[in-house]
Chain A
Amino acid sequence: MSNLFQNTHYLLRTTLVGLGLLTCSLSVNAGPDIRHWETSKGVRVYFVESHELPMLDLQVVFDAGSVRDPEGKLGLAQLASSLLNEAAGGMDADDISFEFERLGAEYSARGAYDTASVSLRTLSDEHLMNPALDMLKTVLTRPDFPDEVIERERNRILVAIQRKYQSPQAIAAERFEAEIFGSHPYAYPNEGTPESLANITRNDLVRFHADYYVASNAMITLVGDISMDQAKSIAESVSADLVSGNAPLYFPEVEQDSKGKLIKVSHPSSQVHIRVGQPGMKYGDPDYFPLYVGNHILGGGGLVSRLFEEVREKRGLSYGASSYFAPRRGLGSFQASISTREDQTQEALEVLTETIREFVENGPTDAELTSSKKNITGGFPLRIDSNSNISGYLSVIGFYNLPLDYLETFNEKVEAVTIEDIKDAFQRRLDVDSFVTVLVGPVAEED
C-alpha cells in the first residue's frame, strides 16, 4: 500500500520547512507532556509517552552535520552518516538491514547542515523492539567503514550529484545558497563535490565518527508506547556505548552581504525558475515570531497568501508561489520562488519582488493579521496529531535549546504579534535591494 500516493496531481504541493508551524491553542489543547532528563553519560533525553499505537520512534541527534566538514573534505559528514548501516560490528549491509527488516523496524539516517541524526521506528513489543535497539547501538557505535564500501557509496553520490544538474530547481537552489551564504559552510552542497569526495579517506571517516558521534555531542528523542522506566533504560543503554568525547565549541556565524546580485544560469528547460532572497533568521531568534507570522501572510499560508494571490490567483503566472524562512542554528535562508514560461519571466519577477517590497514597507493589514493568527492558532492540534510530528518537534526543541514550554507558549506569542512588530522586524531583517536573484532556464548566462 506504499504506492497509494503515486500518480496523483495536487492543486498545490506545499513544502513545509522548519519549525514554523508549531502552535498551541489554549482552548483546545496544551502541548504534549515532554519529559526531559540526562543520562549518566550526560546525553539529553526528550520523551513523550503515547500508548495508542504499539510503536516507538527514537532519534539520536548529533552536532555532526555538514557545518563540521573539514576544509577540502566537503561531503564527509553526510558520507559518514550514510555509511553507518553499510558495515558495522563486523556485519555487512545485508546482515544489518535484514535484522531491522525481519523485525519490521525502519532505520534511517540523515545528514543535514546542522545535524546528523539516526532514526528508528519499531513496534513496541519487547521481543521485536529490543533486538532492533541492539542493532541500532551497533550501527551507531561500531561502524567499520571498509574501503570497498566507501568506494561504492562515493560512486553512488557522484551519480546523485550529476543528476542534480538535470533539475532546474535543484540548480537554482544550489546557486542561490552558494550566493547568499558566501564563505559559510551553509553555502556548499552537503553531499560534497566530485573533487572534495575524491579527497576523503577511510581515516577521515573514522576520525569524524570518533570526534562527533560522542555522548557529549548527542541527544535522544523518544515518542511512543513505552513507560517512563523503559524510556530511561533505553536512553541509558543507547548512550552507554557512546564514547564520552567533547562537544565542538565553535560555530561560525553567517555574514550578510548588502550588495544585491542577479545571476542567470542557462538551462534547456521550458520554464525559468526564479528564486530570490537573503539570509533570514535562526532558531530562537528574537524576531522569530514577527517574522514567522509576517511570512505566513506574505507567502507561507499555503492557498492563502499575498504571493499566491498576486502571482497565481490574479495572474496565472506560476503553479507554485511561496516564501519561507528556514531557520537554522546560524541564519538560515529567507527565500521566495516561482517558475514560469520564458516570455513571462520579467513580469513574474517584478510581481514577486514588488509584492515582497510592498509588504516589507507597509506590513500586513489588520484583516490579514487577524486571519493568519486564526489559522496558526486554530490549527494547533493538527501539528501534533501524530507520533512522527511530535518526534520532529522534540529534536528541534532539544537540538536548538528551545525552552521546554515552547509549545505551550507558542500561541500566546503568536497572538502578541502586532502589525508594527512585523513591519519593524521585516524592515530590519529584509532588504529587497540586497536580495540575491537567481534565474535558471532558457536565459542568457550572466553573473
Chain B
Amino acid sequence: MKLNKIVQLILLASVVSQATAQVNEYVLENGLKLLVKEDHRAPVVVTQVWYKVGASYETDGITGVSHVLEHMMFKGTEKHGEGEFSRIISENGGRENAFTGDDYTAYFQTLEKSRLAISFELEADRMRNITLPPEAFNKEVEVVKEERRLRTEDNPNAYLREVAQATAFQTSPYRQPIIGWMADLDAMKVEDLREWYQKYYAPNNATVVVVGDVEPDAVHQLAIKYFGKLKAENVTSPPHRPEVLQQGKKTVIVKRPAEISRLMLAFKVPGLKSSLAEGSPTQRWEPYALEVLSGILSGGSSARFASQLVRGQQVASGVGASYQMSGRLDGLFTLTGTPAQDRTIQELEQAIYAQLETIKTTLADDRELDRVKAQVVSSNVYEKDSVFYQAMVLGIYETVGLGWKLADEYVEKINEITAEQVRAVVAKYLHEDVSTLAILEPVATKEQN
C-alpha cells in the first residue's frame, strides 16, 4: 500500500505542472501594473486593485489611517455619489469588499466575466477622484471604532495578539495595529485621509490583478481605456525605520476578562525580502526552511504539536505555529497555544521549547519532510479552486516588492529543503533572546458562585 517515495514525488510533480497557468504582465504608460491570469473554469472574473500602502507605512499619531481611508473609498467620487459604487456592483450581480494589511490596501470585485469593464470604470474613478465628505468621515470613523471594539477590545485573543506585536517590535512599524490605536482614531481628521490619499493613490503605486475567464490582451486594452488616462504622482517611499536588535527575552502579561489562558511565543525571523537583499546574512533558502518547520510542527493532525502536545502529553488543548514569509519587512515566527484542562501556561511553554530543542538535536526524518512537501504540492492544486486566492497571491507578492514570479518558485523551493536546513534555522533564529512571550491571564468574566 505505501507508495515508493520517488514514484510519489514524480506523481506530485506532474500534478503541479498540470495545474500551473501563465501570468501576463503589462505596464501602462502611467506606471500602473496589470497582471492577468487566465482561468476558464467558470464564466467569472475577479478584479483586485492593490495599493502599496498599509499600516506599516504609518507613523505614530496616524495609525489606522490606511484602513479608515479604505472605508472612505466607498463614499463617493465627483462622478459617482455616496453608495453608488456598491449599488452598481450589486446590481451587476457582483461581490465586492476591501481589506487593509500591514503592507497593502486592496479592493476587489467578483463579477460575471462580461462585466469586467464595470469594475475597471469604477476603480479607475476612485483611484484619483474620491471626495471625502467630512460628514461621511465623521460617521465612518465611528464605524471603525465599533469595529475595533468588536474585533480587538472585546476579543481577548485578538487583544493578546495586538499587545504581543507591540511588545515584540520596538522600532519596526509592524508594532502598530492595522486598525490603529483608539486614541489615534479619536484624533483622526479628514485632512489626514486627504493627504494619505494624495500620497499613495496613483496608478504608479498600484497593481491591478485580474484572474478569470478572460483574454489577457483584451483586458490590457480595457485597462488602457479606463486607467490609462490617470495621472501618475510622485510617490514617496514609506519611512524607513528598521527594527533594532533585540537583546533579551521580553515577557508581557495581559489581564483581561476571559475564561481561558493563552500564550503567544514570538521570534524575530527574516522573510523572503531579506533573503533576496544584497549582502544579506539571510540565506536564500532560509524562509522556505522556516515554512517547512512550521509544517513539521503544526501542518496537520499528524504534525508534532497535535501528535505530541495535544494527544501524547496532553499539555495543550490546541497549539499552532505560524510564519508569514511574504512581508515587506521582517516578521515573526509565532507559536500560539491554549493549555489543556488542569495544565498550566508554564508547562505548555516548556513543552513548546522542548519541541524546538528536539528539532535542533535530532534531524527530522524523511517521512516527516515528505509529508510536509506532499501537503504543499497538493495545497498548490487545491488553492486553484479559488480565483480569488490566485489573485491574492499575485497581489501580495507584487505589492510587497517580491515580484509575482517568485510565487511560482514556492513549491520547488520547499521541495529542496533538507532536514539539516530546518535544524539550522531553528538554531539560528529561534533563540530565547529574540523572543517575546505574551500571556493572557484571565480575569473572571462573572462572579463565580
Pair A101/B371 contact, Cβ less than 8 Å: yes
Of the A-B pairs whose beta carbons lie under 8 Å apart in the complex, a sample of 13, sorted by A's number, is A9-B101, A10-B97, A53-B19, A54-B18, A93-B307, A94-B302, A97-B307, A127-B3, A267-B257, A319-B151, A341-B145, A341-B146, A382-B94
Pair B154/A104 contact, Cβ less than 8 Å: no
Q: A11-B71, A29-B43, A163-B259 are in contact. Are A316 and B370 (CB under 8 A)?
A: no
* Shortest distance between the CB of A35 and any CB in chain B (Å): 19
Chain B residues near A50 (CB-CB < 8 A): 41
A66 on the interface (CB 8 Å rule)? Answer: no
Give CA–CA (A130, B99) in the complex, Å: 40
Pair B385/A388 contact, Cβ less than 8 Å: yes
State which size class the interface on A falls in.
35 or more
* Of A11, A102, A106, A267, the contact of B367 (CB 8 Å cutoff): A102
Q: Which of A178-186, A276-284, A370-378 lines the interface with chain B?
A: A370-378
Q: A123-B378, A166-B258 are in contact. Are A1 and B393 (CB under 8 A)?
A: yes
Give CA–CA (A334, B387) in the complex, Å: 32
Give CA–CA (A320, B151) in the complex, Å: 11
Pair B445/A375 contact, Cβ less than 8 Å: no
The 8 tightest CB contacts between A and B, nearest first, are A378-B93, A104-B378, A379-B93, A316-B139, A97-B301, A385-B42, A316-B142, A97-B302
Pair A381/B43 contact, Cβ less than 8 Å: yes
Pair B260/A163 contact, Cβ less than 8 Å: yes
* Shortest distance between the CB of A252 and any CB in chain B (Å): 32
* Shortest distance between the CB of A10 and any CB in chain B (Å): 5
* Of A29, A101, A123, A387, the contact of B385 (CB 8 Å cutoff): A387
B24 on the interface (CB 8 Å rule)? Answer: no
Give CA–CA (A387, B155) in the complex, Å: 34
* Shortest distance between the CB of A23 and any CB in chain B (Å): 8
Q: A7-B101, A8-B101, A163-B260 are in contact. Are A93 and B311 (CB under 8 A)?
A: yes
B317 on the interface (CB 8 Å rule)? Answer: yes
Give CA–CA (A4, B95) in the complex, Å: 20
Chain B residues near A166 (CB-CB < 8 A): 156, 257-260, 442, 445
* Of A9, A101, A309, the contact of B99 (CB 8 Å cutoff): A9
Q: Which of B82-90, B232-240, B431-439 lines the interface with chain A?
A: B82-90
Q: A9-B147, A131-B1 are in contact. Are A104 and B93 (CB under 8 A)?
A: no
Residue of A nearest to B67 (CB): A9
B140 on the interface (CB 8 Å rule)? Answer: yes
Q: How many A-B residue pairs have CB under 8 A?
A: 276
Write out, one digit per residue, whether chain A residues 318-341 have a CB within 8 A of any chain B CB (1) or not (0).
Answer: 111000000000000000000111
B356 on the interface (CB 8 Å rule)? Answer: no
Give CA–CA (A162, B374) in the complex, Å: 36
Chain A residues near B15 (CB-CB < 8 A): 54, 123, 125
Q: Which of A112-120, A287-295, A296-304, A430-438 lines the interface with chain B?
A: A296-304
* Of B90, B140, B445, the contact of A267 (CB 8 Å cutoff): B445
* Shortest distance between the CB of B304 and any CB in chain A (Å): 10
B341 on the interface (CB 8 Å rule)? Answer: yes
A55 on the interface (CB 8 Å rule)? Answer: yes
B44 on the interface (CB 8 Å rule)? Answer: yes
Chain B residues near A94 (CB-CB < 8 A): 302, 307, 311
* Shortest distance between the CB of B410 and any CB in chain A (Å): 7
| B interface with A by C-beta (< 8 Å) | 1, 3, 7-8, 11-12, 15, 18-19, 40-44, 67, 70-71, 74, 83, 86-87, 90-102, 110-113, 115, 138-147, 149-151, 153-156, 178-179, 257-260, 299-302, 306-307, 310-311, 314, 317-318, 322-324, 326, 338, 340-341, 367, 370-371, 374-375, 377-379, 381-387, 389, 392-393, 396, 407, 410, 442, 445-446
A28 on the interface (CB 8 Å rule)? Answer: yes
A103 on the interface (CB 8 Å rule)? Answer: yes
* Of A8, A53, A160, A320, the contact of B100 (CB 8 Å cutoff): A8
Chain B residues near A386 (CB-CB < 8 A): 41-42, 385-387
Pair B93/A6 contact, Cβ less than 8 Å: no
Pair A382/B112 contact, Cβ less than 8 Å: yes
A158 on the interface (CB 8 Å rule)? Answer: yes
Q: A125-B11, A380-B93, A381-B44 are in contact. Are A4 and B302 (CB under 8 A)?
A: no
Give CA–CA (A225, B44) in the complex, Å: 20
Pair A121/B382 contact, Cβ less than 8 Å: yes
Pair A8/B112 contact, Cβ less than 8 Å: no
Give CA–CA (A9, B145) in the complex, Å: 13
Chain B residues near A54 (CB-CB < 8 A): 15, 18-19, 381
Chain B residues near A415 (CB-CB < 8 A): none
Give CA–CA (A24, B174) in the complex, Å: 45
Give CA–CA (A205, B136) in the complex, Å: 57
Q: A97-B302, A101-B374, A302-B95 are in contact. Are A52 and B41 (CB under 8 A)?
A: yes
Q: A9-B179, A375-B93, A385-B387 are in contact. Are A127 and B7 (CB under 8 A)?
A: yes
* Shortest distance between the CB of B192 and any CB in chain A (Å): 17
Question: Given A1-B393, A7-B101, A155-B314, 9 other A-B contacts at CB below 8 A?
Answer: A1-B326, A9-B99, A10-B99, A94-B307, A159-B341, A303-B97, A316-B142, A319-B146, A388-B386
A167 on the interface (CB 8 Å rule)? Answer: yes
Give CA–CA (A281, B83) in the complex, Å: 31
* Shortest distance between the CB of A374 and any CB in chain B (Å): 4
* Shortest distance between the CB of A388 and any CB in chain B (Å): 6
Give CA–CA (A266, B100) in the complex, Å: 33
* Of B19, B87, B311, the contact of A304 (CB 8 Å cutoff): B87
Find the residue from A6, A54, A266 having the highest chain B CB count within 10 A. A54
Pair A102/B374 contact, Cβ less than 8 Å: yes
Q: A11-B99, A374-B92 are in contact. Are A55 and B381 (CB under 8 A)?
A: yes
Chain B residues near A268 (CB-CB < 8 A): 257, 445
Pair B374/A371 contact, Cβ less than 8 Å: no
Identify which of residues 371-419 in chain A touch chain B, using a CB-to-CB cut-off of 8 Å.
Answer: 371, 374-382, 384-388
Pair A101/B300 contact, Cβ less than 8 Å: yes
Chain B residues near A340 (CB-CB < 8 A): 146
* Of A104, A164, A304, A313, the contact of B90 (CB 8 Å cutoff): A304
